[in-house]
Amino acid sequence: MKQSTNGTTQTLNKHTLSVLVSYNLNALSRIIGIFSGKGFEIDSISFGSGKQSDLARITITTHGDVQIIEQINKQLNKIIDVVKVNDLTYDSFVERELALIKVTATRSRRSEIMQIAQVFRAKVIDISPEKLTIEVTGNRDKVNAFIGMLDPFGVTEIARTGSVALKREFDGNV
């Protein structure tokens, strides 16, 4: 973790950044390079096309104190190919992550696992005599909680997309 240079200790906050960028791999590499080269953290990153085919939307979740987040923001904005950086944390926003989890499920435990899956509104998408593969969607905490619940049964493999997020249009104020 990069220390704040002004000596103050501030609580580490999670931030979700939505970055609109030209659709090319040099741009993606530059974005990741900012994090690795300058000692910032990436908790998750997702990359996909946005509304315009020549632009990609990258969603990055990261953490750090106010000064670090400000630097991340500024450094991302400096990249020529970056069109816009939105720190959604300051807005109301919706965030989702998808995970596929392969869990050991012998006949005797199978229904218990499926009950847990039901609570999380997760879906079984593959089944074999020894294993279940379950798809779950939600924010990061929910996905973490689900994986935590399955852990005692023996999780053998996990694939996560990382968060994707958009600003909420209606924040409830009438």
Partner 1 sequence: MAQAKTQSLDSAETDKVQTTPEPAVLNGAELLIRTLEDIDVDTIFGYPGGAVLPIYDALFDVHDINHVLIRHEQAGTHAADGYARATGKPGVVLVTSGPGGTNTVTGIATAAMDSIPMVVFTGQVPTDLIGNDAFQEADIVGITRPITKHNYLVKDVNNLEQVIREAFHVATSGRPGPVLVDLPKDMLNTECHYSGLKKISIPSYKPTKEGHSTQIAKAAKLLSEAEKPLIYAGGGAVLGEAWEELTAMAERLNIPVTTTLMGLGGFPESKPQSVGMLGMHGTYYANMAMTECDVLLAVGARFDDRVTGRLDGFSPHSKKIHIDIDPSNIGKNVPVDIPIVGDVKKVLPAIDQQTTKPEIDDWWDTIHKWKREHPLKVPESEDTIKPQLMIEKISEYTNGEAIVVTDVGQHQMWAAQHYTYNYPRSFLSSGGLGTMGYGFPAALGAAFGCPDRPVVCITGDGGFQMTVYELATAVEYEVPLKIAIMNNQCLGMVRQWQELFFDKRYSHSILKKGNPDFVKLAESYGAVGLRATNPKEMDEVLEQAMNINDRPVVMDFQVEEHENCYPMVPAGAALNEMVEGDE
Contacts with partner 1, residue ranges (CB under 8 A):
5-7, 21-22, 26, 29-30, 33, 37, 67, 70-71, 74-75, 77-78, 80-84
Burial class of residue 51 (count of CB atoms within 10 Å of its CB; 0-12, 13-18, 19+)? exposed
CB of 32 to partner 1, least distance (A): 10
Task: Give me the helix-helix angle, 140-154 and 107-119, nearest 10°.
Answer: 170
Residue pair 19/162 in contact by the 8 Å Cβ criterion: no
Judged by CB, which is closer to partner 1: 17, or 21?
A: 21
Please name the residue ranges forming H helices in the chain. 25-38, 66-78, 107-119, 140-154
CB of 14 to partner 1, least distance (A): 21
Judged by CB, which is closer to partner 1: 2, or 123?
A: 2
CB of 124 to partner 1, least distance (A): 41
CB of 9 to partner 1, least distance (A): 14
Judged by CB, which is closer to partner 1: 4, or 137?
A: 4
